[in-house]
Amino acid sequence: MKESVSLTWRRIPERYRILGTVCKNCDAYFFPLRQVCPKCRRKGRIEPHKFSGRGTVYSFTEIHSGPAGFESQVPYVMAIVELEEGPRCTGQVVDAKLEDVKIGDPVEAVFRQIQVDGDEGLIHYGFKFRKVKQ
């Protein structure tokens, strides 16, 4: 989807720095950030938290038919990564082919270009993951 400047700009802290939140009442971590703790609800105490970006592959796929903005990248590997603080998120796995990735592989977040809106549009940045050598 073509994103407007403000739409992508307001997510910069989360997308560039893996900034989420934590509920100080129950110690649950949220990335992407949540303003309401689903467990504590109104008793929750939400504070910002910067995630380490380290985690493990929980599931993965290789996309052969990509959405608009990703056509030139296919095939590429996508994963749901379980961050070491607990929450999971979805991101691309760079520098890896399908056969290189397994469930449980350790990965770390890296800052990358995500997509480009045509020849004259915005360039969107954010996080992807790469395998960590064991």
Partner 1 sequence: MGMRKVAIIGAGMTKFGEHWDRGFRDLVIEAGIKAIEDAKLTGNEISAGYVGTMAPGSLVGQEHAGALIADYMGLNPVPITRVEGACASGSLALRQGMMAVASGMHDIVVVGGVEKMTDLSTADVSEILGGAGDQEWELFNGITFPGLYAMMARRYMHEYGAGPEMLAAAAVKNHRNGAMNPYAQFQKEITLTDVLNSKTVADPLKVLDCSPITDGAAAVVLAPLDKAKDYMKNPVEIVASAQASGTLALHDRPTLSGIPAAQIAAQKAYAQAGMAPQDIDVAEVHDCFTIAELMAIEDLGFFPRGEGGKATLEGKTAIGNGRVVAVNTSGGLKAAGHPVGATGIKQAVEITWQLRGQAGKRQVPDAEIGLSHNVGGSGATAVVHIYRKVGA
| Residues contributing to the site for partner 1 (CB under 8 A) | 1, 3, 11, 32, 58-68, 70, 73, 76, 78-80, 87-92, 98, 103, 114-115, 124, 126, 128
Cβ 132 vs Cβ 104: under 8 Å: no
Q: Please state the closest distance from residue 77 (CB atom) to partner 1, in A.
A: 9
- Nearest to partner 1 of 98, 132 (CB atom): 98
- Nearest to partner 1 of 70, 130 (CB atom): 70
Whose structure tokens read 């009442």? Answer: 25
Q: How far apart are CA 83 and CA 14, in angstroms?
A: 14
Q: Please state the closest distance from residue 122 (CB atom) to partner 1, in A.
A: 12
Q: How far apart are CA 77 and CA 47, in angstroms?
A: 33
Expressed in percent and rounded to 5, the helix, strand and coil fractions of the chain are 15, 45, 45
- Nearest to partner 1 of 3, 84 (CB atom): 3
